[in-house]
Amino acid sequence: MSPPDALEAAAALLGSRAQTEVPLGARTTYRVGGAAALLVTVNDEDDLASVTETVRATGVETLVVGNGSNLLVADGGFAGLVVVLGEGYAGVEVEGTTVRAGGAAALPVVARRSVAAGLTGFEWAVGVPGSIGGAVRMNAGGHGSDMAATLVGIRVVDLQTGEDREVSAASLLLDYRQSSIAQEHLVVHAEMLLVRDDERSGAATLAEIVTWRRAHQPGGTNAGSVFTNPPGDSAGRLIEAAGGKGLRRGTAVVSTKHANFIQADDKGRADDVYALMLAVQTLVKEHAGVELRPETHCVGFGPIPQPTSKVEG
């Protein structure tokens, strides 16, 4: 949490570039959560330089937000500076078998563009509603693949130190749903090395993935898988076996279609989602002795009050 003087100094330095008290719920797939004390959209290199200089000068706490598909912000909000990449960093370029995508590029767009170029290896991303920057940070994946499988390197800016460099994928410590990218690191672009393939084959794979996701995963307001799969098991299976399907805390409920999804009610509360996450962890720990690790990035949470709503199975 940033001290008030740091926020005030950051707001003064950013001037018209920054907005104050910006609701973050609409910028996440949960559609719940509080506001950012400050928010700035980086549209070009001048904006990027200004933001970096501001963070270095003030020490304001910084959070980079992409498409918000793996993010839960507390109802109390984030008392710092949220940085969002604009459309200027959403481009996708294909040269031979190399795809360069801006940090703000949507994963489904990159997947479809690569297939249209006769390339294979990134089809898995067509059903993931995240951005390239967020996908690098969490080493997103699915359908037997992930970012680590094709990622060559990235350009990343450390907003706290001002370090701006090109780094190889090997230096990112990519592992199952994790990397060395921190919340103050801005992934400007990423390069992936794919393989030549027939466009019709790739298009068929895209269609199969979309169909599978619609059949097996719930719609509505959620952030995809809530917990990572423990070694040799499935978080969804563990939650279902513990009786977690349909478990509710206030305005949040465990999906009855897939137990590793939590859905938020319309105009729900982020604190309810978080309280339900804790309840599910406890349930699985008591039933199977397994400690589930959150895949969702939770921001701004202190102690969660006991819910007043009845728990419904």
DSSP letters spanning 261-282: -EEEPTT--HHHHHHHHHHHHH
pLDDT at 308: 39
Task: Supply the CATH number for residue 72's domain.
Answer: 3.30.43.10
Give the pLDDT confidence of 196-255 residue by residue, as tens digits.
998 899 999 999 999 999 998 898 899 999 999 999 999 999 999 999 999 999 999 999
Number of domains in the chain: 3
Does 210 share its domain with 271? no
Q: For 230, which DSSP code?
A: P
Does 126 share its domain with 231? no
Read off the pLDDT band of 90 (50, 70, 90).
very high
Does 92 share its domain with 192? yes
Does 148 share its domain with 175? yes
Mean pLDDT of 53-62: 96
Does 243 share its domain with 286? yes
Does 115 share its domain with 223? no
- In three-state secondary structure terms, 117 is coil
Instruction: Answer yes or no: are the C-beta atoms of 50 and 38 closer than 8 Å.
Output: no
Does 144 share its domain with 170? yes
* Last-in-domain residue among 85, 102, 128: 85
Helices (H), the chain: 4-14, 45-58, 107-116, 132-138, 199-216, 235-241, 270-288
Does 98 share its domain with 193? yes
Helix orientation angle between 107-116 and 199-216, rounded to the nearest 10 degrees: 150
Does 35 share its domain with 114? no
Give the pLDDT confidence of 116-150 residue by residue, as tens digits.
999 999 999 999 999 999 999 999 999 999 999 99
The parent domain of residue 245 ranges over 218-313
Instruction: Answer yes or no: are the C-beta atoms of 126 and 135 closer than 8 Å.
Output: no
Does 211 share its domain with 225? no
Does 41 share its domain with 79? yes
Mean pLDDT of 51-75: 95
Active site positions, annotated: 177, 225, 295
What whole-number distance in Å separates Cα of residue 170 and Cα of residue 293? 24
Does 102 share its domain with 159? yes
Which residues have a Cβ under 8 Å from the Cβ of 182 and sit 6 or more positions away?
Answer: none
* Last-in-domain residue among 215, 233, 251: 215
Q: Which two tokens stand for residue 306?
A: 């006991």
Read off the pLDDT band of 303 (50, 70, 90).
low
* Last-in-domain residue among 182, 215, 248: 215
Asked if the model's pLDDT at residue 1 lies above 60, the reply is no
Give the pLDDT confidence of 149-173 residue by residue, as tens digits.
999 999 999 999 999 999 999 999 9
Task: Supply the CATH number for residue 167's domain.
Answer: 3.30.465.10
